[in-house]
Structure 1
Amino acid sequence: MSDHDEFLKVATAAKEAAAELAPLPRAPKDAALRTIADALVARSAEIVAANAGDVARARESGTSEAMIDRLTLDEGRIAAIADAVRKVADLPDPVGEVVRGSTLPNGLELRQIRVPLGVVGIIYEGRPNVTVDAAALCLKSGNAALLRGSSSAYASNVALVGVMQDALADAGVPAGAVQLVPGQTRESVKLLMRARGLVDVLIPRGGASLIKSVVEESTVPVIETGLGVCHVYVDADADLGMAVDILLNSKTQRVSVCNAAETLLVHADVAEAFLPLALKALADAGVTVHGDERVAAYGAQVVPATEDDYYAEYLSLDIAARVVDSLEDAVAHIRTYGSGHTESIVTRSQPAARRFVALVDSAAVGVNASTRFTDGGEFGFGAEIGISTQKLHARGPMGLPELTSTKWVFTGEGHLRGV
């Protein structure tokens, strides 16, 4: 069977499963999720064995230990993945929720209700836990999941999807609701990106090159996620101690995530007082600062910044820095170099905070808080499929409601249109 025929088989199965999932009430979906969680734990030895092969191949190919750690599964990590699935089962079901409704003057009743998207394709890198997380969120929201993980985790993903499909069958839910795109070549990715009509929406999760490729090449509608060139702006009226703490948390609490700060902007009025404090704190934390000449004046350790540094999503212990002359200059910098993810202002001035929030056009804007709070779990959504940096359909952390669309239902009593 050709790659195209194999893909067509699994995509068609997902499409058929999506039609069966859409009308299901909450109870069978939650039961299926709990069956998946139990099966993951019960068959953890099988999953760990498959994962060991992926890890061995990664080491042979010279993969970094940091990436190998993200790839590795053990019984403890599988138990944690299973617990996350149970937490998804406990979340409210968005399907059927009435978004708005009214009764027209002629007595016709209108309701706009949430419905599943259908088949959600997800392209992602590295971590096999995403295979289960994404499948669970799709199932809870009534969608079929068509998953294409990285080739480095292929054996792990085959094992995980096999366990989930068996569990779905045991729970009486269509096993086709969770599908793995067959193959490990670039061609399998292209088939998914061009499956318009079989796949309703595509969500890429990974680095800048992956997201750019999917957005530019896909004929399936794409929800752009993840790329985070996030900024911390220290205003003229900032509490400097608070600003140092927020900066360090935003940059160093976890460097390899999309909501970590990548650029520091400092108002010229507080540069002399703030930058020596900030540069020492960053140096003590092992952070390399790539700064302009005005930043470099306050620290010999500052590396001269290039234009590319201000566009960079480092995902490492590096940060770009610049001194700006006004809040408006800070906003202009963010508009030029930012990715529309998360920006945060540190200020005691309510007018400055309001103006910053009004002018910054990003998915999330913080006031006197770390950029690291842009997260579905931190926002109280329970879980997220990713963080959307685009403007249509969903923006910011995407929880279960963002994995739905809506339909209009209008109910009459023999109503006829007269004009």
Structure 2
Amino acid sequence: MAGIVLVGAQWGDEGKGKATDLIGEKVHYVARFNGGNNAGHTVVVGDESYALHLLPSGIINENVTPVIGNGVVVDVEVLFQEIEGLEARGIDCSKLRVSDSAHIIAPYHRVIDKVTERYAGKRKIGTTGRGIGPAYADKINRVGIRIHDLYTPEILRDKVEASLHQKNQMLVKLYNQRAIDVDETVTKLLDLGEKLRPYVANTGLLLNQALDRGENVLFEGGQATMLDVDHGTYPYVTSSNPTAGGACTGSGVGPTKIDRVIGVSKAYITRVGEGPFPTELLNDDGDWLREQGHEYGVTTGRPRRCGWFDSVVNRYAAQVNGLTDIVLTKLDVLTGLESIPICVAYDVENADGTHTRYDEMPTDQDAFAKAKPIYEEMPGWSEDISQVHNFEDLPVNTQNYVKRLEELSNCRISAIGTGPQRDHIISVHSLLPEE
């Protein structure tokens, strides 16, 4: 038996889809435990590239049962767009199971998300406008709609009415928008519920039974550590817990059944949306990284902000998640650089003009927002590494760069991505406990 948690160790887009697909060859279940269709994973199989949003990345593997856990907020319309798109390409989605306790993203959540962000001005978060934040807000405010509510019309109507009572007043009086019709919303949700019915299950029970049978379960987080609502760069965060603790609350599986926690990090770093980013490169180097790494959002197409590797962030991710392993991705993107900077600490100027060095993540968000990176330089390499499958066969400078990142991160690097293809990977240590 192995319960394995896979999380992003930076601000997202680290390549979790590829890592999940890699480990998925050896697991029986892959379960998403947080977020919604604001997450984007790309899995490349041969010449085929699959962009996934709500569906767990393991769905590409026919031997895996993909699960959407209770911690995910589900836009049913988007889910079926994704299912139909994959089935048209020959991918069987019939094994998918969706938690009956997961909350849904109703049409009005998308409306609220877009309207409030539009009027937020300088306080905007950089939301994708998919309704994720408002759906989680309703969940916490106890007016959310769970999937099992879709099968009890009277309960569904009461919940929609309760949720829209305040929202319609805000839309009409504050934002000068049209009120959302209760009957129309209920009818639409009931229809979607019937379409979803074959996939609905008690997934917490399903996953626990699988672990009790000795099967391997991979828990896949959407977004990443630095976007965690509790541990990220608040308020520029997502509305859920993409850290390892969220795997338990978002799936219904207890922490004693977790054996490994794997963090995924790029060999550099990116961020989408608003918020502080100490190593961001607003120059030709940033543009070069973006083009070399094809750093554009899977979900939105937005160009990603790019910067050098931040070891302070990675050490923090190792601490918060209790990482046992790191999967380092996109190492090949750095090929061709003569010298590669690594952020090892921060310099923060205080109000009195003095400076403080931070070797660990500041808990004061104002200090983090002012942080300037302190770099050390590593020599680069020019050799093509995409076809290398053993660590010892990498160029010496490449090996030294990886070893330094491992040392600075306080966690071993167990796998290295050397290119976009499925087989562009170097396995250094097994990611499964029993191997």
- TM norm. shorter chain > 0.5: no
| Greater helix share, structure number | 1
User: Which structure would you say has the larger RCO, counting Cα contacts within 8 Å and 6 or more residues apart?
Assistant: 2
Bin the TM-score by the shorter chain: 0.3 to 0.5
TM-score of the two chains, using structure 1 as the length reference: 0.33
* Structure number with larger C-alpha Rg: 1
Relative to the length of structure 2, the TM-score reads: 0.32
